[in-house]
Chain A
Amino acid sequence: MGSLPSKIIVTAIGSDRPGIVAEISRVLYKHKANILKTRASAVGSLFILVMLVDVSSADVSADWIKEEVKEVGVRLGLGVSVEDAEKFRKRKKLIAFDMDETLVEGETINELAKAAGVYREVKQVTEQAMEGKIGFKEALTRRVRLLKGLPLSEVEKVKQKLKIAPGAEDLVGELKKAGFVTAIITGGFDLFANHVAEILGIDYVYANKLKVKAGKLTGGFKGVILSPQDKLKALKEISRKEGIKLEECVAIGDGANDVILLEGSGLGIGYNPKEAVKRHADALVEKLDLRTVLALIGVSQVSQDVVKRLGAGSLRQE
């Protein structure tokens, strides 16, 4: 990732329970990283911890420490982020969501496959792709080809049955209230992404366009297939249009095809992430819990209070 950060900010949020500070500080101690500032507070049943940590004297790389801290956070059932101190200072203004398994429950392509009677074949390819075992583009092409001949009326039925993920509506609503530009950037399909965007009031949609002929899916695409690289390109395009810097963007997703997007954005959040994603995300959350995600992004009052008390000037010391 280029330059080596000498200071990182650890944020952990979740249900209050004994041992959170002990476990996270133990990992840092183990690697001789020095905690310069801590602010931790139980607010109702929620515990939030923010630490400024000097990793310049650590016996392993900053990335290594990030991994271990994230692991501990997940084990404790917390939402956790580990960011370079410099990046942390940037206020976030835009959020891009993956669709399948993030804003909606399940993989929509599997639902289409069920309707087309090719569920087993499609599911197999999906799983291999999400684990990063086969190329995203190849997997998608193969799966869509299996959908050939599915009538649009069936696609419509699947669309009406889409389940918005619990918490997604509240989260998007709060972020919009906070002035965020919102986007769906997905390898999934336009027919569904537009529908979800409409329900949630999302500003931009980038999705793969399914080709339709005589009221049926042709098994092909309209235009080019959105690759993992294209997902980041889409984010860049939106941010340019909106005059927002990439460091001010948050991306949230679960699959291997989101990795490039998560790494390229200011704050990459792995939501209920697949193995292939965990290492590449700045933050990990297991639920789209409103308070947790807002606090990780730095939007909620709780996290702002904590950060304020951590000291605005503190990140520049020495």
Chain B
Amino acid sequence: MTELLITAVGRDKPGLVSEVSEAVFDAGGNIEDMDQVVMRNIFVMSMLVSFKNPGKPVKRLEALLKGKEKKTGLKISVYRVGSLLRGGKPAK
């Protein structure tokens, strides 16, 4: 199992949770944990996503999220949870 941490920030508007979670679902990921808040009209979201199979689905998610960045104006980052816990740099 692979776990990713996804963060998304940007100007708030309706549909941002939907766009990002749709990409996760389409790539075959499962949301294990998530927090989202709007502060001063800024959208801030963090999401812990698990994949049963590493490799292709993760690549697919990264590609889908690139598209979502363009569509929504969000800044989206993807981190390997394992790497974060080891104090390493983001995989992306």
Report yes or no: A22 in contact with B21, Cβ–Cβ below 8 A: yes
Set B16, B25, B32: member contacting A19, Cβ < 8 A: B25
Instruction: Please report whether the interface of chain A is mostly helix, strand, loop or mixed according to DSSP.
Output: mixed
**CB nearest neighbor in A for B19:** A29
Whether the Cβ atoms of A38 and B34 lie closer than 8 Å is: yes
A148 at the interface (CB under 8 A from B): no
Contact across chains for A38 and B36 when beta carbons are under 8 A apart: yes
A18 to B52 alpha-carbon distance, docked (Å): 11
With contacts A18-B28, A18-B29, A42-B32 taken as known, whether A34 is within 8 angstroms of B12 at the C-beta atoms is yes
Contact with B along A33-77 (1 / 0, CB 8 A): 111111111100000000000000100000000000000000000
- Do A17 and B22 contact each other (CB < 8 Å), given the known contacts A33-B14, A35-B17, A38-B17? no
Interface of B toward A, CB cutoff 8 Å: 12-19, 21-22, 24-25, 28-38, 45
A34, B18: Cβ atoms closer than 8 Å: no
Q: Are A41 and B18 in contact (CB under 8 A)?
A: no
**CB of A32 closer than 8 Å to a CB of B:** yes
Instruction: Report the bound CA distance from A38 to B35 in whole Å.
Output: 5
The answer to whether B31 and A20 touch across the interface, beta carbons within 8 angstroms, is yes
The distance from the CB of B91 to the nearest CB of chain A, in whole angstroms, is 22
- A57 in contact with B18 given A21-B34, A37-B37 (CB within 8 Å): no
> What residues of chain A lie closer than 8 Å to B30, measured between beta carbons?
16-18, 42
